[in-house]
Amino acid sequence: MSASVSSTSPQNPYVSIILPCYNEQGHVTAEVARICEAMDASGYPYELVAYDDASTDETLTRLHEAAPDYPHLRIVHFDRNGGSGTVRRIGTQQARGEIVVWTDADMTYPNERIPELVQMLEKDPALDQVVGARTSEAGTHKILRVPAKWFIRKLAERLTNAHIPDLNSGLRAFRREVSLPYLRLLPPGFSCVTTITLAFLANQHDVRYVPIAYAKRSGTSKFHFVSDAYRYILQVLRMVMYFNPLKVLMPVALSLLGLGIAKGIFDLIVHPLYFAINTVLIFVTGLLIGSLALLADLIVRSRGDT
């Protein structure tokens, strides 16, 4: 993916704010202004890196028009659309700040509170990530999104043994150095925020949640309920499998083994010295999945990156 860069930002920022922009012409300047005003007032050295992800409208033009008024703004243009996850991965890899902030350019998140998230990380060296936990749902398909997100969040909590008020919030600040081993795991789409949350939690990094308001987005939503919800579920399972496969596979294996043993006892009572074929299949399947779980766990333990 080729990219062009224009830069007037400081050489040694403490905070790098990654701002994916795709067809945000109507409000991207207002979002840049809001972020820069808050960061200027905070006193933190920062860079705001706006990534135009091959927008088909005038987003890139609006950014260049705003650049002279915001010396901390750096603009990166992609010739091909890679998705918000790709933008955030590349942005974090190339960030020059110790603290990286992810947010969106659609006016939904209270970006004036970014300094508050950064301050929490600065004051507590043991804290690795701060997430803005939304207290309301203002997105499209609200009737479907709320129960679907609740189910996915509860699944993630069950598999990670952690309380997760908001699994896929787009507003978060974290230590860049801590995130580097997990960047290669980020998918190109919206579920990248879920991935970075689960990666930190699965490796016992301290993650804190701060309640935030969530406004109605400006412009057109890029979220597609069926396909993106499906990807979220797959990504939760994939991440837990990557870091702790026993959590996913062993309950299935033990359930099948227990069912096979119970069915075997039933067969012995009803038909002495005879086991039904389905009983054998259930028990053997449980053994195979259990063996796979132990093998996957061995691979994880020997991988050396967790």
CA 227 to chain CA centroid, Å, is 16
Report yes or no: 101 and 16 within 8 Å, Cβ to Cβ: yes
Tell me the CA end-to-end span of the chain in Å, nearest whole number.
29
For 32-62, what is each residue's pLDDT tens digit?
A: 999 999 999 999 999 999 999 999 999 999 9
For 27, 48, 221, the CA distances from 138, given in Å and listed in that order, are: 18, 26, 11
**Three-state secondary-structure class, residue 96:** coil
Q: pLDDT grade, residue 275 (50/70/90)?
A: confident
Rg (CA), the chain: 23
**Cβ–Cβ under 8 Å, residues 89 and 179:** no
Read off the pLDDT of residues 227-267 as tens digits, 9 standing for 90 and up: 667 777 787 888 888 888 998 899 999 999 999 999 999 99
Beta bridge partners of 127: 206
Question: Percentage of the chain with pLDDT > 70?
Answer: 89
In this predicted structure, what is the pLDDT of residue 61? 96
19 pairs with which residues across the strands?
50
User: CA 80, 82, 84: angle at the middle one, nearest 5?
Assistant: 135
Q: For residues 191 and 29, what is the distance between their CA atoms, to the nearest angstrom?
A: 26
- Residue pair 78/51 in contact (Cβ under 8 Å)? The answer is yes
Is residue 95 within 8 Å of residue 198, measured between CB atoms? no
Instruction: Note whether 301 and 264 are within 8 A (CB).
Output: no
| E strands present in the chain | 3-7, 15-21, 46-53, 73-78, 99-102, 127-134, 172-175, 206-212
Averaged confidence pLDDT in the chain: 88
- Higher-pLDDT residue of 272 and 278 is 278
CA distance 104 to 119: 20
